[in-house]
Amino acid sequence: MSQHDMLTWLDQHAGKTYGNYINGQWVDSSNGKAVPLYHTARKSQLLGYFPDSTETDVDAAVVAANEAFKSWSKMPAPDRGAILMKFADLLERDIDELAYMLSAEQGKALAESRGEVARAAKETRFAAGDAIRMDGETLPGERTHVWNSTIRQPIGVIAAIAPWNFPVVTPVRKIAPALAYGCTVVFKPASNTPWATTKLFSLLAEAGVPKGVVNLVIGSGSNVGDPLVKHPLVKGISFTGSTKQGVAIHEIAAKRLVRTQLELGGKNPAVVLDYANLANAAKQIVGAAFACSGQRCTAISRVIVLKEQAEALTKALLEEIRLITVGPAWEQKANMGPLVNKSHLDSVQEYLRIGKEEGARLLAGGEILSEGEYAHGSYMTPALFDQVTPDMRIAKEEIFGPVLSVIAVEDEKEAFEIANSVEYGLAASVFTDNLSSAYRFAEQIESGMVHINHGTASAAYMPFGGVKQSGFGAYSIGSTNKDFFTELKVVYFQYD
């Protein structure tokens, strides 16, 4: 994967016009409109034209999915799983092409993009196996000659809506389990990152997914997302994005008693308590804070450390941050790419201004890079604040960018209180050599996922989700998906 490989491939494949994928066919939007998408790190390079779809397109996709559900839900589970296994193989076959597309539209380094595609293949294989694990129960009857059991059945058409930060794994995380359990899907990608998604749907078709089972509608939230969420044939909504938007979707769904699976924001803490290997803690924290340029819901954004270790840990964090090289995806030394666009860069920069205004000290980073190659993207250096207090906005609000804050505390009790003091509860880490502290943290932290002595990485088969304002409904990934994509039916069978 050299600079030449990626740029040559882009020059050969970028600039095409793409359509929606509805009922097994690539079609233009009903209004014939398409909008351009440009490279995040080469602003002058057109990646392609993508549909500016309407409610008419949404309706066509949902109707197709609803019709396909009648046969797809009846297909034997091993057969559905076999199609998904082939899809996973295709993801790995085309990993370089998908990584090029992903890095071009989103900005992340190529190594991260390849890792994302590989993760998508792993999650697909787990979902494929789960197709034959739609288990129920058989219980003794309270009357003679009555057999009692429970079974699970797919709920129907799923509206799947994804953000721009993980344009490959997030769609797959929603589509693969939906298909495994017998549901059909209408998928809406983020307007900023539709390109890799078009490749995913081509691979789904190549894997043998029948027409109508998966449908792709590209467009804005108002023209595509809203009518999709409100469509009467949609039986479940899986959404990943901001808490504000997730709450709005849930309000709409609740009026129809439609279930939701919401993966929302985070303000994730790393608590450091009497931990000897501060270099390791710093490496784990920095990796979790600045992967994807900090643009991920599980990014660590708060470091809560005992005062006696604060100075040493801060020094170790600075040393790790200095190892980060900011640059375009194709630069082999680059391990942090640009932010997704200028608007988002401006938002993150505003938080830097707010932090300094509130009295925090900017120890390193935060500079906008605009010279030479950097002029073609929205680049900034990773930022580290100290002298941060829990009441500051940078300590409470989700910045969704490469900004890390250090908060010094007196003791474990204060550390846990501050860790829980925000409205979010997605992921949390603790670094400690004290086994009792680790268990107390796991018990007391208000978080959906707890990490002990490592960063906020997740596994391809473990449930993923949050509490408080970080999520609602069944956790995604892993066995908990069946609680969203299937419904329980209780069967009483009397015999002579």
Residues taking part in catalysis: 263, 297
Alpha-carbon dihedral 271, 390, 445, 465, rounded to 10 degrees: -100
**DSSP 8-state code for residue 209:** P
Nearest-angstrom CA–CA distance, 415 and 193: 38
What letter represents residue 165's amino acid? Answer: N
Nearest-angstrom CA–CA distance, 174 and 161: 9
307 membership: H or E segment, kind and range: helix 307-321
**DSSP 8-state code for residue 267:** -
Q: Which residues have C-beta within 8 Å of that of residue 343, sequence separation ≥ 6?
A: none
Pick from 485, 477, 16, 25: nearest CA to 215:
25
Helix (H/G/I), strand (E/B), else coil: 189: coil
Asked whether 8 and 15 are in contact (CB, 8 A), the reply is no
Nearest-angstrom CA–CA distance, 38 and 201: 21
With 0-12 / 13-18 / 19 or more C-beta atoms within 10 angstroms meaning exposed / middle / buried, residue 420 is middle
Q: Which residues have C-beta within 8 Å of that of residue 468, sequence separation ≥ 6?
A: 423, 424, 425, 446
Using CA atoms, how far residue 225 sits from 59, 105, 218, 340, in Å, is 12, 20, 9, 21
What letter represents residue 170's amino acid? Answer: T
Nearest-angstrom CA–CA distance, 389 and 408: 8
List the helix and strand counts (H, then E) for the chain. 16, 25
Tokens of 435: 């086994």
Tokens of 243: 């808490």
- Nearest 5°: phi and psi at 56? -60, -40
Cβ count near 454 (within 10 Å): 15
Nearest-angstrom CA–CA distance, 30 and 16: 19
Pick from 297, 273, 268: nearest CA to 285:
268
Q: Give just the sign of the alpha carbon dihedral 89, 95, 101, 103.
A: positive
